[in-house]
Amino acid sequence: MVLGALVSVPGAIAAEYEFSNVKHEGLPFGCGLGGPGAAGTLRDSDVGSVKLDGTVIVTPRIDVDRKLRAGDAFTCTLTIRSRRTATTTFQLEPYGIIGSKAPNAAFEYVDSDDDRWDATAGPWIEPLVPEVTIKPRGVAYVPVTVTVPAKPPVGSAYGSVNVVSRTRASAGENVVGIESQVATVFLLRVGGEGRPDLRLRHVDAPKLRWNRDAWKLTADLDNEGTLHANASGRVRVKSIFGNVVAELPIRRETVLPGGREPIAGTWKGVPWFGLYRYDVRVANGPVTKGEQVPENVETVDGWFIALPPWWVLALIALVLVALVVRWWRSRREDVWDDEPGVPNDTGFNDPEFDD
């Protein structure tokens, strides 16, 4: 099982958007309904700012907003930039994608040997060339055609083109193979009425905040629907008086059907003491303050108490103990002065001597 994520991760291979100015209704930049052009490579136009840091940069995802039907076809041009110090040959391999709830993974790659292959967009994707060779600081442009079959799944289908490099390196007396890859993910809507269905799971936030630490909420955002969601949201914190004291944005995430994305919100400026209520709100689309109501809104709420550091509480406790002791002693003295037969300022507490 091979897992992947819909965000770029620093390391040997990174990802960024790179589209041409070609646009067709319902298709993103870099895609059109015409046939594929020619693949080609060239030197990066901005050589002075290009560092040879070993990375490969590709279009991370192509989100097709148009509802596709059986027999539809379109072509997108993928841009691949090499920051490697040597000329490298990259294979372009189509994969299917399904949502995953595994830790640290947004989806699972599916190849043609998997029983789930036909339920993905993997079979629909065809790069114009199976591989491309790129020189250092070079750029390759590769057309990729997507063709919807006669009987597609209703709602959505997902696939990718993985740009893979395979090299060999010496490790002592042994020679080991090294494989690295980065993917362009295709997010496709197919007929029907596919919808996302967002659910907040495993919400975790401390009920008691000590020592002026930051207060952090974490949760898992699941999509139980049949279409991917471009989810965003916020965590709003209110004081006991009802005024908003903090609003923490939740980073926008793409969640595939059957997939899961972790979300988090951190409040660093928590006062020393207070009782607070919070509510979490996520939706498919931006969570705005205007009249537009995002679809598929999911909310949860809770509360927590903020307390100062332990030494402050200890100092307050000592002061309270001192005040109680002082009050108790004062009270004892007042009771002693009021007892019969005990001398006071005028003599004995005896009526015969009061005159």
Per residue in 268-283, pLDDT (tens digit) is: 988 888 899 999 999 9
Instruction: Map 234-268 to HEC letters.
Output: EEEEEECCCCEEEEEEEEEEEECCCCEEEEEEEEC
CA separation for the pair 314, 310 (Å, rounded): 6
Q: Which amino acid, one-letter code, is at 278?
A: Y
The pair of three-digit structure tokens given for residue 197, joined into one six-digit string: 């269905």
Alpha carbon distance 228, 78 (integer Å): 22
CATH topology for 198-306?
A: Immunoglobulin-like (2.60.40)
For the segment(s) 2-190, the CATH number from 2.60.200.20, 2.60.40.10, 3.50.50.60, 3.40.50.1220 is 2.60.40.10
CA contacts within 13 A on the Cβ side of 95 = 24
Task: For residue 327, give the 3-state DSSP assignment.
Answer: helix
Closest CA relative to residue 144, chosen from 27, 280, 300, 281: 27
Alpha-carbon gap, residue 16 to 57, rounded angstroms: 6
In order of 333, 335, 347, the CA distances from 338 in angstroms are: 9, 5, 13
Location of structure tokens 């898992």: 220
Q: What is the pLDDT of residues 19-32, one digit of tens each?
A: 333 345 567 766 77
Coil vs helix vs strand at 307: coil
Output the CA–CA distances (angstroms, integers) from residue 23 to 72, 75, 121, 186, 253, in the order listed: 16, 11, 22, 16, 24
| pLDDT score at 149 | 92
- What gap in Å lies between CA 317 and CA 179, rounded to an integer? 62
Structure tokens at 303: 């509360």
Can you give the pLDDT of all 355 residues of the chain as single tens digits? 565 555 433 333 333 333 333 345 567 766 776 556 656 655 555 555 567 777 888 878 888 888 888 999 999 989 998 888 889 999 999 999 999 998 878 889 999 999 999 999 999 999 999 999 998 888 999 999 999 999 888 889 999 999 998 877 666 667 666 778 889 999 999 877 788 999 999 999 999 887 778 899 999 999 999 899 989 999 999 999 999 999 999 988 889 999 999 999 999 988 888 899 999 999 987 655 544 456 678 899 999 998 776 656 666 777 788 788 778 777 776 665 555 555 555 555 555 555 5
Q: Let me know: does 56 contact 13? Beta carbons within 8 Å.
A: yes
